[in-house]
Amino acid sequence: MKYGTFYNVTVKDSPGKGRGVFTEEYIAANTLVSVECALVLSDVDDLRSHKLFQYLCALGNSLTITLGVGSLMNHSEQPNIRVERLVQEERFEFYSLRDISPGEELTHRYVRQLWFSPIGG
């Protein structure tokens, strides 16, 4: 399995959301965009007051952090990315849900409970 992001992306400010991931090129619908290892964390209690806690992702019954730009993708109620969580392989795969134009922010629907009020979808 090849790991990494297969398109040119930029991490920059996303209005109202902090940092976000934006594509610099066209991405066709139903395309594998990124494959990332998951670092499974055994004890997250100490992280609850740390900024890193905001970047944790659910993988099965564990909390993890992705080792790539996936952890910086923002939540949306109308996402353009879907996340395939491969628990046994400790891996995340990110696929485009539709055609994505250059300059668009890559977003997905978070599975864990939101700790913020979503704005702007």
To 10 degrees, the CA torsion angle through 31, 112, 55, 104? 40
**pTM, entire model:** 0.83
Domains of the chain by start residue, with CATH: 4-108 (2.170.270.10)
pLDDT digits (tens, 9 = 90+) for 44-90: 666 666 677 777 777 788 888 889 999 899 888 899 999 999 989 99
- The pLDDT tens digits of the residues spanning 3-28 come to 999 999 999 999 888 899 999 999 99
The residue to which tokens 């978070």 are assigned: 110
pLDDT digit string, tens, across residues 27-49? 999 999 999 999 888 766 666 66
pLDDT at residue 116 greater than cutoff 50: no
